[in-house]
Structure 1
Amino acid sequence: MDSEKVLQLIQLMSETDISYLKLREGDSTITLKSDGCKSDPAILLRINPGSVEKASTSVAAPADEAARVFCSPVTGVFYACASPEDPPFVEVGTPIRPGKPLCIIEAMKMLNEIEADVEGTIAAILVKNGDVVTAGQPLFALN
């Protein structure tokens, strides 16, 4: 199986809700697992195919397998609130809808307000204020 086909399968998984794929072609077998986070295809194409297995095992999924996760779109520093005096954007139990601010991620001295793109309820906050997060890392578990 050629690397171009593998990259196409990885991209397909990132754009859909497919979380597990096993493909046999001739005497070759490939198994792909996803943490359930949809990735930006531009980010996906920059991933070295040799590092895909390592990247997928370094992300911890929430304990509740039924929960969905909201992942960081960029690498940077996670902030739960706009300033130290302000309350957090969301807490466990907060209902969210598309467009609702969830957090701020500081990347390259730019403050990026991260908004929800789905509807649900915050089931768990998986990172702490001030943590460095990577693109694709789960930030919130959603019900």
Structure 2
Amino acid sequence: MDIEKIRTLIALMEESELVNLEISSDDEHISLTRHYDAPAPTMMAAPTAGAATPHTTESQPAMKAGSVETSPMVGVYYSAPSPNDPPFIKVGQKVQAGDTLGIIEAMKIMNPLEATQSGVIDEILVTNSEVVQFGQPIVRYKA
């Protein structure tokens, strides 16, 4: 089985939010299982009839302007090619579409994270060696 077929199956799992996928044929067998920490369920107390709920904008963080680059897969984000090398990007750096923003390791495969657009890096939203989820914002470009 070739690596592209495996990547296609992984993408299918992520899109469909499947936890397990098993495929067998005469000469091949592949079994994929996603392991991730699901957020703990939270209990919300029902408001009492006489209680007023304050609505303040100070308690909710404001979304910053500018487009974001998101993770195309679940994995571990690395900001540099090796621990002794400088990071691929820094805040304030101008990048072109196709430039490497980092590496995402998934299933022991190092996948380059490439910029999909040109712009100036405003904020790096993840840290080196952080586990990232599919669709999680990685960097924010200046507006």
Normalising by the smaller structure, the TM-score range is 0.5 to 0.7
Q: Structure 1 110/44 Cα, relative in aligned 2: closer, same or farther at 3 Å?
A: closer
Measured in 1, the distance between the counterparts of 2:13 and 2:101 equals 21
Q: State the partner residue of 1:128.
A: 127
- Give unmatched runs, 5+ long, in structure 1: 1-40, 49-54, 56-61
Report what 1:92 is aligned to. Answer: 91
**3-state DSSP of counterpart to 1:117:** coil
| CA shift in 2, pair 1:78/1:63, >3 Å | farther
For the residues of structure 2 that align with 1:141 and 1:73, how far apart are their CA atoms? 15
Uncovered stretches (5+) of structure 2, i.e. residues with no partner: 1-10, 19-38, 40-60
Residues 131 and 117 (structure 1 numbering): CA distance in 2 closer, same or farther, change over 3 Å?
same
- Matched letter for residue 65 of structure 1: K
Task: Report deviation, 1:65.
Answer: 2.9
Q: Which residue of 1 aligns with 2:16?
A: 46
Q: 1:76 to 1:45 in 2, by over 3 A?
A: closer
Aligned to 1:31: none
Check conservation: 2:14, 2:73, Cα contact below 8 A: no
The alignment covers a number of residue pairs equal to: 92
CA contact (8 A) 2:122 2:139 kept: yes
The structure that is helix-richer by fraction is 1
Match of 2:80 in 1: 81
Q: Name the Cα RMSD after superposition.
A: 2.4
Tell me the residue number matched to 1:108: 107
CA contact (8 A) 2:77 2:105 kept: yes
Report the TM-score when normalising by structure 2: 0.58
- Structure 2 partner of 1:59: none
Q: Point out 4+ residue stretches in structure 1 off by more than 3 angstroms.
A: 41-45
Equivalent pairs: percent with the same residue?
43
Structure 1 CA distance, aligned partners of 2:101 and 2:139? 9
- Distance in 2 between the 1:45 and 1:106 partners? 18
Q: Tell me how far 1:45 sits from its aligned partner.
A: 4.3
Q: TM-score, normalised by structure 1?
A: 0.58
Report the counterpart of residue 35 of structure 1 in structure 2.
none
CA distance in 2, matches of 1:99, 1:89: 12
Larger radius of gyration: 2
By how many angstroms is 1:47 displaced? Answer: 3.7
Q: Distance in 2 between matches of 1:67 and 1:74?
A: 22
